[in-house]
Amino acid sequence: MMVSENFEARLMLGVGILLIGFPWFADWLDEPYLVSTASRIWIYALAAMSLNLLVGFAGLVSFGHSAYVGVGAYVVGILAWHQYEETNFLGLPGTLEGFISIPFAMIVSGIVALGIGALCLRTRGIYFIMITLAFAQMLFYFFVSLEQYGGDDGLMMMDGRNKIPGLDLGEDRQMYWLSLVALGLATWFLRRLSMSRFGMVLHALRQNETRLKAIGVPPYPYMLVAFVIAGALAGLSGALLTNHMEFVSPDFLHWTRSGDLLIMVILGGIGTWTGPILGAIVFLLLEEFLPLLFQEIGLYLFSEHWRLVFGPLLIGIVLFAKGGLHALVFKQMKGVDGAFAN
C-alpha cells in the first residue's frame, strides 16, 4: 500500500538475516545467556504479531490472547508428559516429536479460538474486551484445576525439548534459530495475508464496519477466520515457549500476560509490521534490565519494585506517544504516508 512499507519490509529482511549470526555475537561478547533471552523475545514477538492481526488490522481488541499461547504451550507439555509417563491421552500416545506436537498445538489453539471467537465476535467494543478477557480467565482456571497435569504448579518437560530431525533443540542456539525462523515465516505469511483480498476486508473492517456491510460483505466470517489464524499463530508461539522453558504452567495464561502482549503491540506501534517486534524487544529488555539498571545507579527500592516505574511509563506511552516506537523509528522515512499514523 505504501512505498515506505516496502522499504520497511526489506529492512526487516536484512536485519533478520543479520540476526541469524547473533549467537556468535553473544559468544564474542562472552554472554551466552543472551541467546536464550533473544529466543524468548522472538517467541513473544510472534505472539504479539498474531495479536496485531486482530488489534491492528481488524480493529478487534482482544484482551485474552495469552489463552491461545497457553493452550499451545500445554499441548506440547501434555504430549511430552504422556510420552514420559508412557500413558495415553484419549487413546492416543504422547509424543516428543516436534513435527507432530507443534502443528498439533497450532491446530488445538485454532480450534479453541474458533469456539471462543464464535461467541465473542457476536459483540463489539467494550463487551468484546471484557468477554475475551473472561474466556481467557476461564481457560486459566481450567488448567489450574487439571490436577493430573500439575494444577497450579504446571508441568516440566522431563525428557527435554521436542525432537526435530536435523536439529538439536537441546542446544540453545538451535532453539534460537527455530524461534527466529518461526517469527520470520509468520511475519511473511501475515504480510501476504494483509495484502490479499482477505486482508483488504480486514483493513476495511477496522475503518468502517457499517460501510462494509452496505457493500455486501458480512463481517462475521472474516473476523472469525482472522481470530482463528491469530489463535493458531499464538499457539505456535506457546509451543515454542514450552520448548524454550522446558516447562509450562497456568501462569502462561494469566490475564496479565494478555495485557503484556497488548502493551508490546501498542508500545511498538499498532497495525505496523515492525511494531510488535520492536515492542517485544523493548518490553522484555526493560523487564530484564530495568531492575539491573536501578541496582547499578543505586536506586535499590526500584530495582526490586521496578513495576512502580513501569506502570506509569506505560500510562505515559499510551497517553502521549501515539504510534509507538514504530513512529519514532520510521517517522522520517514515511513522507506522504506519515499522515496514516493518526
- In terms of CB distance, is 16 or 259 closer to other proteins? 259
Q: Which of 90, 91, 166, 339 binds other proteins (CB under 8 A)?
A: 339
Q: Which region among 160-168, 175-183, 193-201, 275-283 touches other proteins (by CB under 8 A)?
A: 193-201
Answer for the pair 236, 186: CB distance below 8 angstroms, yes or no.
Answer: yes
Q: Could you say whether residue 78 binds other proteins (CB under 8 A)?
A: no
- Binders of other proteins among 145-184, rule CB under 8 A? 145-148
Q: At its nearest, how many Å lie between other proteins and the CB of residue 127?
A: 6
Please state, in angstroms and rounded to a whole number, the distance separating the CA atoms of residues 257 and 253.
Answer: 7
Following CA atoms 77, 82, 83, 89 in sequence, which dihedral angle do they give, to the nearest 10 degrees? -110
DSSP annotation string for 92-136: EE---BHHHHHHHHHHHHHHHHHHHHHHHTTS-HHHHHHHHHHHH
Is 197 among the residues that bind other proteins (CB under 8 A)?
yes
Assigned C-alpha cell, 76? 506440547
> Of these, 72, 184, 199, 268, which contacts other proteins (CB under 8 A)?
199
Q: Residue 17 interacts with other proteins (CB under 8 A)?
A: no
Assess 90 for contact with other proteins (CB under 8 A). Answer: no
Scan residues 215-254 and list those touching other proteins (CB under 8 A). Answer: 215-218, 221-222, 225
- In the complex, what is the shortest distance from the CB of residue 125 to other proteins, in angstroms, rounded to a whole number? 6
Which region, judged by CB under 8 A, interacts with other proteins, from 21-29, 93-101, 119-127, 235-243? Answer: 119-127
The conformational region for residue 146 under phi > 0 = left, psi -120 to 50 = alpha, else beta, is: beta
Stretch of residues binding other proteins (CB under 8 A), selected from 13-21, 159-167, 196-204, 243-251: 196-204
301 binds other proteins (CB under 8 A): yes
Size of the site for other proteins (CB under 8 A): 72
Residue (10 or 122) nearer to other proteins, CB: 122
Query: Least CB distance from residue 334 to other proteins, whole Å?
Result: 13
φ, ψ dihedrals at 92, nearest 5°: -105, 140
Looking at the DSSP assignment, which residues form a beta bridge with residue 156? 247
Cα–Cα distances in angstroms (integers) from residue 240 to residues 146, 190, 194, 320, in the given order: 22, 18, 24, 34
CB of 134: closest distance to other proteins in angstroms? Answer: 5
Taking the complex as a whole, how short is the minimal distance between the CB of residue 170 and other proteins, in angstroms? 33
CA–CA–CA angle 267, 46, 229 (5° rounding): 110
Q: Would you count residue 130 as binding other proteins (CB under 8 A)? A: yes
Residue among 45, 73, 108, 133 that touches other proteins (CB under 8 A): 133
CB 55 within 8 A of CB 67: no
Residue-by-residue DSSP string for 222-271? HHHHHHHHHHHHHHHHHHHHHHHHTEE-GGGG-HHHHHHHHHHHHHH-TT
Chain residues 251-280 in contact with other proteins, contact rule CB under 8 A? 255-256, 259, 262-263, 266, 270
* Stretch binding other proteins (CB under 8 A), from 70-78, 135-143, 179-187, 280-288: 135-143
| Cell digits of residue 306 | 521496578
Q: Is 29 in the site for other proteins (CB under 8 A)?
A: no
In the chain, what are the helix, strand and coil shares in percent, each to the nearest 5? 75, 5, 20
Exposure b/e, 112-127, CB count within 10 A at least 16 = b: bbeebbeebbeeeeee
Nearest approach, Cβ of residue 34 and other proteins (Å): 26
